[in-house]
Amino acid sequence: MSDIDHDRIYQQAEAQAGYFTVAQAAEAGMDPSTLRYHARPGGRYARARRGLYRLRHFPTSPTEHIVAAWLPLQGAEAVVSHASALELYELSDLIPDAVHVSVPRAKRGQRPRPGVRIHTQTQPFGAGEVRMVAGVTATSPERSIVDTLDDGGQPDQVEQAITAALRRGIATRRRLRAAAEHRSSQVRSFVADAMAREAS
């Protein structure tokens, strides 16, 4: 095993809060027995759970639990969504009790995972509804806000997210209205009222 393989794993894990999958290690040329060797006590890597490893001395991150939940579902085209995406954007003080991810209907057969709530996407995401944030794919701030509201999120937290997103310039009124357009009348009204309060 050459150092260049370790460098490749490090570079990939660095963009993923220090985590990498067995498949990513294999792409770097590391076979499972070598990976297990390097994951022994005192080794370069630490086993986080089945199929997921972490660079042993990599600094912790407040959102690493999201990355660790998303990485094993990456092959299922999972996208961090709902309140977990709001957490990635630092738009909410609420830390959900589970990491929310959305997967396409065709990939919905994922087995339940502790601490992960899987939402099934009936329609593909629209243009601009998914982006990279902190090394993971996540729904846009606007989509995350309306998904959280539609999912029964706490209204005060959702309003806080709307206000913060507009003030920080990571969401626009036009895109928020568009994201809420095909939702229930309650969601549309809530978004419109929250934007009006923010403007006053």
pLDDT of residue 43: 92
CA proximity to 66, closest of 45, 82, 77, 55: 82
Summarize the confidence of residues 184-199 as an average pLDDT.
Answer: 94
Q: Which residues of 24-60 are buried (b: 16+ CB within 10 A; e: fewer)?
A: bbeebebeeeebeebbeeeebbbebeeebbbbeebee
Look at 145 and 63; give whichever has higher pLDDT.
Answer: 145
Q: Mean pLDDT in the chain?
A: 91
Position 110 scores a pLDDT of 67
Q: Can you give the pLDDT at residue 84?
A: 97
pLDDT band, very low/low/confident/very high, at 5 (cuts 50, 70, 90): confident
User: Averaged over 43-61, what is the pLDDT?
Assistant: 92
Tokens describing residue 20: 């990498």
Q: What pLDDT score was predicted for residue 1?
A: 43
Q: Which of 99-103, 106-110, 129-133, 138-142 has the lowest mean pLDDT?
A: 106-110
Tokens of 118: 């899987």
Comparing C-alpha atoms, which of 56, 11, 54, 6 is closest to residue 29? 6
Q: How confident is the model at residue 2 (pLDDT cuts 50, 70, 90)?
A: low
Average pLDDT over residues 156-176: 96
Q: Which residue has the higher pLDDT, 40 or 108?
A: 40
- Domain residues of the chain, as ranges? 3-55, 64-199
CA atoms within 13 A on the CB side of 146: 25
Pull the structure tokens for residue 94: 């609420």
Is the per-residue pLDDT at 114 higher than 90? Answer: no
Does the structure show a pLDDT above 80 at 108?
no
Provide the percentage of residues in the chain whose pLDDT is more than 90. Answer: 73
What end-to-end distance do the CA atoms of the chain give, in Å? Answer: 62
Query: Residue 3: pLDDT above 60?
Result: no
**Which residue stretches of the chain are H helix?**
3-14, 22-27, 32-38, 64-70, 82-88, 141-150, 155-168, 173-180, 185-199
